[in-house]
Chains A and B, each alone.
Chain A
Amino acid sequence: MTSEAFVHIGSHQPRKEDARLLTGHGRYIDDIVVSGALHACFVRSPHAHAEILSVNMGAALDMPGVVAIYTGHDLAQWTTRHRMAPPIDGLRAMEMDTLPTTKVRFQGDPVACVIATNRYLAEDAAEQVQVDYAVLPAVSTMWQALASDAPRVDNDLPDNLLSHQHAVHGDVAGAMAGAHRVIESTFSQHRQTHLPIETRGCIADWDVGRQHLNFQVGTQVPHPYRTTLAARLRLSESQVSVVSPDVGGGFGQKIALYREELTVAAVSMQLGRPVRWREDRMENLLASSQAREDFCRTRVAVDAQGRVLALDLEIVEDFGAYSFYPGNYLARVVAMIVTGPYRIASYAYDVKVVLSNKVGNGPMRAPMSVTSWVMEGTLDAVARELGLDPVAVRRVNMLRPDELPYTMATGEVLADVSPNATMDGVLAAIGYDSLRERQVQARAQGRWLGIGVCNVVESTTYGSKFYKSAGIAGSGHEAAWIRIEPSGAVNASVGLGATGQGYETSLANAVADGLGVSPADVRVLLGHTDIAPYGMGSRGARGGTAGGGTLYLCAQQARTAVLAIAAHLLGLADAQALRLLESRVQQQVEDRWQDTALTLADIARVAYLDPLALPPGVSPGLEFHLTYEPPPMTYSNASHACVVEVDGATGAVHIERYVVAEDCGTVLSPVVVEGQQHGAIAMGLSGSLYEHIEYDSATGQNLSGSLADYLVATSHELPHFELIPMHTPNRSTPAGIKGMAEGGVMGAIGALSNAVNDALAHLGVVVNQQPLTPMYLRGLIRQAQQNTNKAST
């Protein structure tokens, strides 16, 4: 499917979205004026874990502007409970109330909802709602969660182990027993959050006359969101419209139906008035989805050249207090793809997911991001232990082009990837060999340079078959429609939910080339469940292949129909010698293409206004609809190289150079892809260096409630990224699209950690946790220097 010559796919197009966003004329949730709307504010638990004894709202109800105050008992009448119970081996079912009625499970858990005439007054009243609690001991770490005498986060479960899955592929025990060496490494990834600059918010407007809910919310997945919202309100999907306008970033935080949003919808139905809510930043940090906190341990059996004979991986993930997603949703994917571009036939994994008194986890840009740090950090450990060059260890283990497609130990098939080419590309770009020489010279001068390499295999488009084999409920298909209007204008829609990716631009290129028009003539409509077809929305990196691919196939279907009509109007037997280019019908005469008298507008006019002139059997109008199921999984690949200098006196990390070679197949819009690469790398570096949702280990209090505590890298800390684009098309997807946008996070986490370890290698210390703060690194350096002093005295 990759033989087409593209006109617009891969061409530079400035974004269609920009003009409105640059001038302050975007429409985000909070910009939408709804007259008579009431404002919601939530009363939140100050405790990590506590029984709710009583909620006393007396004084608050009498305050100015207050209309009503509701608790979980009210919501229990108006909504159904949330049950997360996919039939997955090793996963326990979980249920939760819309708002807790008996106990709170994290600091920030909502216990009551104040409705008032404006946000200031709602916040005033929320402060006066008196909740009596009986504080319970909190589960603040994954290790506490696993202790036999741990408090139970969910009283309906026997303990805090939400999910436990394991598998053995090949003779792992035998390989370990007979190996030259068995090398163990650990990796502790810290808790982080998505931090879209636009916080969550919604507007619910119950139309009493039509018995219909119009629900505006920034969401990545409009249709699945509507399905859940309608069910939990006991409404039909015909009674709910979900409309997602401009969205100020998502990164995975805007997928699940949150309890606050469901509450706002239910309250609008009760009051028969529009109700709106926007969380503040503290609520975003205390109560919106969090991610990433896990511990990984690898044991690799190797020979003397560093060849991996077997790998054993253990993961423990701290999932937080509630199951907004199946417990195995995140960590299981890590286990399935961790071997990346390497030839590792014997592999075993054990994945435990535990509950704690923290915000429930959700997928955050590259939920499987730790895979690269774990695999590449493990190979660096092999190099360190055996005294080999880290690149040499990668080379002996890396799949050669002639070994592809390669079936990984877990059964996943890796095809159309180019890890050797990307690694060669970055090593050449940074001048690896001369850099090693410079590193030696610098160290002699007391300067600690480090070089980190990280190869990435990014799982991009999750097909239904992958979900099934990973034991995750869900479909990977996508849906699109295209309508050529009577004027020849093209409207198109797909079930994705835009949160800044530039879909209106990149997807227009897919439609333009599939059909044969200019992208300027294509309007892409997204984010409205009454307009868009039922698709699975935006998550992972599925926008390109699932979104763009489905639109491309639908556009090809439209082109076939248009050209059949053109052939009939031109008196030709068939359309074999016709094509559509920039809305002009062209005919091949010998080896030249010539314009005919027809344009797309002429065909459209006939289809709508003169249908009797259509070929026999052809229906009037030009409307097309198509669903597409992508392959089980598509993969992009990349290699990251990072050069750092660690200041031994302060522990500060300075990134001197950052180079990435990335192969993401056919790209719809190179400018959009480049932007996604930058953003993903930045998120990975920022997360590895600074960001940390920290809970007090004794009380379970969230210590990161402001942006003065939750630090994010600014333009000042981040380096200039050098990108080397590569394009090996995927042979089993429309137009060869692979998808991308998360791999940058994966590579950054690994490349940075490997570089810092390389810089500190002479001290004999290893970073095995993130973030790599100056305090953490200084602690390691101090320890190493004290040991050296002791040894020398």
Chain B
Amino acid sequence: MNEQRITLTVNGRNIEFEAEPRKLLLDALREDCHLSGTHAGCEHGVCGACTVLVDGRPTRSCLCFAIQMEGHEVQTIESVGTPQKLSVLQQALHECHGLQCGFCTPGIVMTFEAYLKDHPEPTEADIREVLSGNLCRCTGYQNIVAAIALAARRMREASPHDQ
């Protein structure tokens, strides 16, 4: 064992812990930062359940080491909304029945919290293309697609940008 001190910035807070350099960001978030909302689905970068934001960009936390993330801003699902106050996207997923078992959901929320910031008017085809990086075994995706489109519309209505 070759543990060393690692400092991560997660959801705006600095968290220090001891871990081996091989420790995945995914495992460090769950075990050392006590943020269990980021889920391990495949641990080889396909399913997208472990998606977090690194410096604002969607990133597979199973494909990077925690120690690589020193000096970067990591955001997890716990930074998005609370059970009492859902984000616009989370609220839309709730209303459209865009989740069933919920295991893949945090990865989808993180992917589209970032995507919708840069792409306020996605078409259904755009949404389906981007969503193809997240596997969901329960929903058949249709209600997730509808929820993302609804969230995009509400976000546009809430902050109309320059025409």
Residues of chain A touching chain B, judged by Cβ–Cβ distance below 8 Å, are 14-15, 17-28, 30-31, 33, 64-65, 119-121, 194-199, 246-249, 251, 278, 280-281, 499-502, 671-672, 674-675, 678-683, 706-708, 712, 714-718, 720-721
Once the chains bind, are B137 and A195 in contact (CB under 8 Å)?
yes
Among B126-140, those with CB < 8 Å from A are 127-129, 131-140
B67 part of interface (Cβ distance < 8 Å): no
Once the chains bind, are A23 and B77 in contact (CB under 8 Å)?
yes
Once the chains bind, are B86 and A715 in contact (CB under 8 Å)?
no
CB distance from A164 to the nearest CB of B (A): 34
Chain A contacts for B83, CB-based, 8 A? 19-20, 22-23, 25
Once the chains bind, are A197 and B136 in contact (CB under 8 Å)?
yes
Complex Cα spacing A248 to B50, Å: 14
27 CB-based A-B contacts, threshold 8 Å: A17-B102, A21-B101, A21-B105, A22-B94, A22-B105, A24-B36, A194-B137, A197-B49, A197-B103, A197-B137, A198-B101, A246-B101, A248-B101, A248-B102, A249-B103, A249-B137, A278-B40, A500-B102, A678-B139, A678-B141, A682-B141, A712-B137, A714-B131, A714-B141, A715-B128, A716-B128, A721-B140
Which 6 A-B residue pairings sit nearest by Cβ, starting from the closest? A24-B37, A500-B101, A21-B102, A248-B103, A682-B140, A24-B77
A499 (CB) vs chain B CBs: closest residue: B101
CB distance from B121 to the nearest CB of A (A): 18
B102 (CB) vs chain A CBs: closest residue: A21
Chain B contacts for A23, CB-based, 8 A? 37, 77-78, 80-83, 86, 90
Once the chains bind, are A714 and B132 in contact (CB under 8 Å)?
yes
Complex Cα spacing A617 to B38, Å: 55
Once the chains bind, are A196 and B101 in contact (CB under 8 Å)?
yes
Chain A contacts for B104, CB-based, 8 A? 197, 248
Complex Cα spacing A502 to B145, Å: 19
Q: Mark contacts of B12-52 with chain A using CB atoms, 8 A cut-off: 1 yes-contact digit, 0 otherwise.
A: 00000000101100010010001111111111101101000
B123 part of interface (Cβ distance < 8 Å): no
CB distance from B129 to the nearest CB of A (A): 6
Q: A718 and B41 in contact (CB under 8 A), knowing A22-B81, A23-B86?
A: no
CB distance from B156 to the nearest CB of A (A): 21
Max chain A CB contacts within 10 Å: which of B81, B84, B129, B139?
B139
Once the chains bind, are B106 and A24 in contact (CB under 8 Å)?
yes
- The contact of B36 among A21, A31, A278, by CB within 8 Å, is A31
Chain A contacts for B78, CB-based, 8 A? 23-24
CB distance from A363 to the nearest CB of B (A): 16
Residues of chain B touching chain A, judged by Cβ–Cβ distance below 8 Å, are 1, 20, 22-23, 27, 30, 34-44, 46-47, 49, 76-78, 80-84, 86, 90, 93-95, 97, 99-106, 109, 127-129, 131-145
- The contact of A246 among B102, B128, B132, by CB within 8 Å, is B102
Once the chains bind, are A720 and B142 in contact (CB under 8 Å)?
yes
Chain A contacts for B44, CB-based, 8 A? 281, 706-708
Chain B contacts for A672, CB-based, 8 A? 97
Chain A contacts for B39, CB-based, 8 A? 28, 30, 197-198, 248
Complex Cα spacing A448 to B127, Å: 28
Q: A718 and B100 in contact (CB under 8 A), knowing A65-B1, A281-B43?
A: no
Chain B contacts for A706, CB-based, 8 A? 42, 44, 46
A196 (CB) vs chain B CBs: closest residue: B137
Once the chains bind, are B135 and A712 in contact (CB under 8 Å)?
yes
Chain A contacts for B80, CB-based, 8 A? 23-24
CB distance from B77 to the nearest CB of A (A): 4
Once the chains bind, are A121 and B36 in contact (CB under 8 Å)?
no
A63 (CB) vs chain B CBs: closest residue: B1
Other A-B pairs beyond A23-B77, A678-B143, A716-B129, 18, CB < 8 Å:
A14-B97, A15-B94, A17-B102, A18-B102, A21-B101, A22-B105, A198-B41, A198-B103, A249-B100, A281-B43, A281-B44, A500-B102, A675-B138, A675-B139, A678-B139, A679-B139, A714-B131, A716-B132
Complex Cα spacing A721 to B139, Å: 11
Once the chains bind, are A197 and B141 in contact (CB under 8 Å)?
no
Once the chains bind, are A30 and B23 in contact (CB under 8 Å)?
no
Chain B contacts for A33, CB-based, 8 A? 34
Chain A contacts for B140, CB-based, 8 A? 678-683, 718, 721
CB distance from B116 to the nearest CB of A (A): 15
- The contact of B143 among A247, A675, A680, by CB within 8 Å, is A675
Once the chains bind, are B142 and A120 in contact (CB under 8 Å)?
no
Chain B contacts for A278, CB-based, 8 A? 40
Max chain B CB contacts within 10 Å: which of A25, A248, A249, A706?
A248
Once the chains bind, are B102 and A22 in contact (CB under 8 Å)?
yes
- The contact of B101 among A195, A247, A671, A718, by CB within 8 Å, is A247
Chain B contacts for A15, CB-based, 8 A? 94, 97
Q: A19 and B97 in contact (CB under 8 A), knowing A198-B41, A248-B102, A682-B139?
A: no
Chain B contacts for A280, CB-based, 8 A? 43
Q: A281 and B103 in contact (CB under 8 A), knowing A30-B30, A678-B139?
A: no
B86 (CB) vs chain A CBs: closest residue: A22
Chain B contacts for A194, CB-based, 8 A? 137
- The contact of A249 among B23, B94, B101, B144, by CB within 8 Å, is B101
Chain B contacts for A708, CB-based, 8 A? 44, 46
A281 (CB) vs chain B CBs: closest residue: B42
Once the chains bind, are A19 and B94 in contact (CB under 8 Å)?
yes
CB distance from A672 to the nearest CB of B (A): 7
Chain A contacts for B144, CB-based, 8 A? 715
Once the chains bind, are A22 and B99 in contact (CB under 8 Å)?
yes
Once the chains bind, are A715 and B42 in contact (CB under 8 Å)?
no
Complex Cα spacing A121 to B84, Å: 39
Complex Cα spacing A21 to B97, Å: 12
Chain A contacts for B95, CB-based, 8 A? 14
Once the chains bind, are B101 and A120 in contact (CB under 8 Å)?
no
- The contact of B86 among A19, A30, A199, A717, by CB within 8 Å, is A19
A744 (CB) vs chain B CBs: closest residue: B140
Once the chains bind, are B36 and A30 in contact (CB under 8 Å)?
yes
Chain B contacts for A20, CB-based, 8 A? 83, 102
Once the chains bind, are B102 and A26 in contact (CB under 8 Å)?
yes
CB distance from A133 to the nearest CB of B (A): 27
Chain B contacts for A683, CB-based, 8 A? 137, 140
Once the chains bind, are B102 and A120 in contact (CB under 8 Å)?
no
Chain B contacts for A681, CB-based, 8 A? 140
Chain B contacts for A198, CB-based, 8 A? 39, 41, 101, 103
Complex Cα spacing A714 to B30, Å: 27
CB distance from A97 to the nearest CB of B (A): 29
Once the chains bind, are B76 and A24 in contact (CB under 8 Å)?
yes
Max chain B CB contacts within 10 Å: which of A14, A21, A23, A194?
A23
Chain B contacts for A120, CB-based, 8 A? 20, 22-23
Complex Cα spacing A22 to B143, Å: 14
CB distance from A675 to the nearest CB of B (A): 5
Complex Cα spacing A360 to B30, Å: 33
Chain B contacts for A714, CB-based, 8 A? 131-135, 141
A22 (CB) vs chain B CBs: closest residue: B90
Chain B contacts for A30, CB-based, 8 A? 30, 36, 39-40
Chain B contacts for A14, CB-based, 8 A? 94-95, 97
Once the chains bind, are B81 and A721 in contact (CB under 8 Å)?
no
Chain A contacts for B133, CB-based, 8 A? 714
Complex Cα spacing A16 to B23, Å: 35
A64 (CB) vs chain B CBs: closest residue: B1
CB distance from A35 to the nearest CB of B (A): 12
Complex Cα spacing A119 to B31, Å: 11
